[in-house]
Structure 1
Amino acid sequence: MDERGLHRLIGTIIAPEHLEDDCAVVPCADRLMVVSTDMLHETTDFPAGMTDWQAGWMAVAVTLSDVASMGAAPGQVLLAVGLDRPERLRGIMEGARDCCAAFGAELVGGDLDAHSELTLVSTGIGWVEPGYLVRRRGARPGDAVAVTGRLGEAQAALNGWEQHRRELLEPQPRVREGQALARAGVSAMMDISDGLALSLYDLLAVNDCGFAIDTARLPLPAGVPVEEGRLLALYGGGDFELLFCAPQGVVPVAGVEAHVIGEVIDERVVLADGEPLEPRGYLHEWSG
Structure 2
Amino acid sequence: MDDRELVKMIGGIIGTDTVEDDCAKIPFGDDYIILSTDMLHETTDFPTGMTDWQIGWMSAAVTISDIASDGAVPLGLLLAAGLDRPERLKGIMQGAKACCDEYGASLIGGDVDAHSELTIVTTGIGRVEKENYTGRKGALPGDLVCIVGDPGYAQAALDGDARYRDYLLIPKPFVYEGRELSKAGVSSMMDVSDGLALSLYDLADLNGVGFEIDSGKLPKTLPQDYVLYGGGDFGLLFTCEESILRSLEVGATVIGRVISDAGVFVDGKTVERRGYVHKWD
Fold in common (TM above 0.5): yes
State the match for 1:3 in structure 2. 3
SS at match of 1:11: helix
What's 1:117 paired with?
Answer: 117
1:72 lines up with 2:72 in the alignment: yes
Task: Determine the C-alpha separation between the residues in 2 that align with 1:33 and 1:153.
Answer: 32
Which of the numbers 227, 232, 254 marks the counterpart of 1:260?
Answer: 254
C-alpha distance in structure 2 between counterparts of 1:110 and 1:210, whole Å: 41
Q: Which residue identity lines up with residue 39 of structure 2 in the other structure? A: M
Distance 1:3 1:41 in 2: 15
In the alignment, the residues of structure 2 paired with residue 129 and residue 113 of structure 1 have an alpha-carbon distance, to the nearest angstrom, of: 36
The structural deviation recorded for 1:29 is: 2.1
Q: How does 1:125-164 map to 2 (within 5 A)?
A: 125-164=125-164
Letter in 1 for 2:226: L
CA distance in 1, matches of 2:4, 2:30: 33
| Structure 2 match to 1:272 | 266
| Structure 1 partner of 2:95 | 95
For 1:222-237, list aligned pairs within 5 A: 222=221, 224=222, 229-237=223-231
Offset from partner CA, 1:89-108 (integer Å, 9 cap, x none): 11000000000000111100
Q: What residue in structure 2 maps to residue 173 of structure 1?
A: 173
**Counterparts of 1:276 and 1:173, CA distance in 2:** 29
**2:149, 2:234 within 8 Å by CA — same for their partners in 1?**
no
Assess if the C-alpha contact under 8 Å between 1:146 and 1:258 holds in 2.
Answer: yes
Which consecutive unaligned segments of at least 5 residues does structure 1 have? none
SS of the equivalent of 1:8 reads helix
Query: For the residues of structure 1 that align with 2:41 and 2:266, how far apart are their CA atoms?
Result: 33
Does 1:17 find its partner at 2:17?
yes
Write the letter of the residue equivalent to 1:45: D
Could you tell me how far apart the structure 2 residues matched to 1:167 and 1:146 are?
20
- Structure 1 CA distance, aligned partners of 2:69 and 2:28? 19
Q: How many angstroms does 1:37 deviate by?
A: 0.2
The CA distance in 1 between the partners of 2:194 and 2:56, in whole Å, is 20
- CA-atom RMSD in angstroms: 1.0
1:27 maps to which residue?
27
Deviation at 1:254, TM superposition (A): 4.3
Match of 2:235 in 1: 241
Partners of 2:111 and 2:70 in 1: how far apart?
A: 26
Q: 1:230 to 1:26 in 2, by over 3 A?
A: same
1:228-266 deviation digits (Å, cap 9, x = unpaired):
x21100000000100000111212454411100000111
TM-score, length-normalised on structure 1?
A: 0.95
- Tell me the equivalent position of 2:57: 57
Q: Which moved more, 1:49-58 or 1:2-11?
A: 2-11
**Consecutive aligned runs of 4 or more in structure 1 exceeding 3 Å deviation:** 252-255
Answer yes or no: is the 8 Å Cα contact 1:151–1:218 preserved in 2: no
Contact 1:180 1:253 in 2 (8 A): no
Aligned length: 281
How far does the alpha carbon of each residue in 1:15-38 deviate from its partner, in whole angstroms, 9 at most, with x for none? 011000120011112210010000
Partner Cα separation in structure 2 for residue 119 and residue 284 of structure 1: 15
When normalised by structure 2's length, the TM-score is 0.98
Q: Deviations over 1:152-189 (max 9, x none)?
A: 00000011111101100011000000000011110000
1:219 shift after superposition = 2.0
Q: Secondary structure at the match of 1:123?
A: strand
2:27 corresponds to which letter in structure 1? P
Distance 2:160 2:218 in 1: 21
- Looking at structure 2, the residues matched to 25 and 268 of structure 1 have their Cα atoms a distance apart, in angstroms, of 28
Q: Secondary structure at the match of 1:147?
A: strand
The answer on whether the counterparts of 1:154 and 1:165 sit within 8 Å (CA) in structure 2 is: yes
Correspondence for 2:219: 219
